């Protein structure tokens, strides 16, 4: 393992290189160009295939739950490996001391397979069925408190889901205001909107482990068409599975095969539909911050804002 450490420093200095970067006599690095948040590399070390992920710089614009969120992944991977069959990588090294480089980084096993987004001819229904099975296992893991509970500590844990989501909703609105896309009136309108429907969230619900970023790029599929990895648990949340379902809707995962694998159908009551709209808005509105704050794409951020406002007008 120590032999890889010089390569990490070299990878950090070459974080924006598009392809191969020699870092050490026996180590080869290849940039993973599909990463959208961390700088990631495949590492070949004497025939051992690994993945290196380096967190973004501290000065980057983050959503409230994104700062230092890599820090919650090692215990989550260990939890999933101990209590489920969800295919997650073994994390070999996590470092947040900044003694080697000025960012958090993680070195992990490279799982077999390729992202679903990059393969053709695969039985997608079979893949979604297996994803449903794996998420059902993750959702069966519960905690006493709700919210983002990891070591990055973006919020205080809450005793109920309604309290947690209220904190999350308002923190997200704060982020949008900070990048200049909701003014005071619009921000107040969105905060009041939640208060109008708050009672529909105030119901007994267990704090389940939610992935919150399952889409085709984070699903690995092996040569036999089986799911060989569910990647990127850094956005994980403990709360109502219904918010996960809204993300799956948005990402095109919640097809009939998924629900067959998951083993039960979702609540389709009028109250659940209202919650689904808010959960969809929670997912959609984050892109206002990402487009403006990270990509400096004002027109893109405005489009997401208009989509959110249109949903509010039509559905609530």
Condensed to tens digits (0 to 9), the pLDDT of residues 84-137 reads 999 999 999 999 999 999 999 999 999 999 999 999 999 999 999 999 999 999
Chain CA centroid to CA 158, Å: 20
pLDDT tens digits, residue range 39-93?
999 998 777 899 999 999 999 999 999 999 999 999 999 999 999 999 999 999 9
Other C-beta atoms lying within 10 Å of the C-beta of residue 282: 18
pLDDT-derived band at 194, boundaries 50, 70, 90: very high
pLDDT at 145 > cutoff 90: yes
User: Who contacts 105 (Cβ-Cβ below 8 Å, separation ≥6)?
Assistant: 8, 12, 52, 53, 54, 55, 70, 94, 95
The rounded distance, in Å, linking the Cα atoms of 30 and 49 is 11
Considering the entire predicted model, what is its pTM?
Answer: 0.93
For residues 274 and 197, is the Cβ–Cβ distance under 8 A?
Answer: yes
pLDDT at 20 > cutoff 80: no
The rounded distance, in Å, linking the Cα atoms of 177 and 295 is 16
The rounded distance, in Å, linking the Cα atoms of 204 and 283 is 23
Query: ∠ at Cα 225 (223, 229), nearest 5°?
Result: 85
Structure tokens at 266: 């979702």
Domains, the chain, with CATH or none: 2-110 (3.30.200.20), 115-315 (3.90.1200.10)
pLDDT at 18 > cutoff 80: no
Q: Percent of the chain beyond pLDDT 70? A: 92
- pLDDT attached to residue 33: 83
First-residue to last-residue Cα distance in the chain? 54
Return the axis-axis angle of helices 270-289 and 241-250, rounded to nearest 10°: 60
pLDDT at 177 > cutoff 90: yes
Partner residues linked to 146 by β-bridges: 158
pLDDT tens digits, residue range 272-300?
999 999 999 999 999 999 999 999 999 99
Instruction: Provide the mean pLDDT of the chain.
Output: 93
């Amino acid at each position: 393992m120590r032999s890889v450490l010089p390569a990490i420093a070299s990878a950090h200095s070459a974080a924006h290189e598009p392809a191969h970067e020699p870092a050490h006599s026996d180590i080869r690095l290849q940039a993973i160009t599909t990463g959208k948040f961390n700088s990631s590399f495949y590492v070949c070390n004497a025939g051992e295939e690994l993945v290196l992920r380096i967190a973004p710089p501290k000065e980057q614009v983050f959503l409230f739950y994104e700062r230092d969120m890599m820090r919650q992944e090692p215990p989550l991977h260990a939890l999933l490996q101990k209590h489920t069959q969800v295919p997650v990588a073994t994390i070999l090294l996590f470092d947040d001391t900044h003694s080697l480089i000025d960012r958090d980084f993680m070195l992990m096993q490279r799982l077999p397979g390729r992202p679903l987004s990059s393969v053709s001819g695969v039985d997608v229904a079979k893949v979604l069925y297996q994803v449903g099975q794996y998420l059902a296992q993750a959702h069966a893991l519960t905690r006493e408190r709700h919210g983002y509970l990891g070591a990055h500590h973006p919020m205080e844990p809450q005793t109920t889901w309604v309290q947690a989501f209220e904190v999350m909703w308002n923190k997200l609105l704060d982020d949008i205001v900070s990048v200049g896309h909701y003014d005071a009136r619009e921000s107040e309108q969105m905060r009041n909107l939640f208060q109008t429907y708050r009672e529909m969230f105030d119901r007994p619900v267990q704090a389940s482990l939610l992935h919150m970023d399952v889409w085709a790029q984070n699903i690995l599929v092996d040569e036999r068409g089986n799911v060989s990895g569910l990647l990127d648990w850094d956005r994980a949340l403990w709360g109502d599975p219904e918010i996960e379902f809204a993300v799956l809707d948005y990402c095109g995962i919640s097809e009939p095969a998924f629900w067959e694998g998951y083993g039960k159908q979702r609540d389709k009551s009028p109250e659940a539909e209202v919650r689904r709209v808010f959960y969809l808005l929670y997912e959609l509105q984050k892109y206002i911050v990402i487009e403006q704050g990270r990509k400096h794409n004002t027109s893109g951020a405005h489009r997401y804002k208009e989509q959110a406002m249109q949903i509010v007008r039509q559905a609530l």
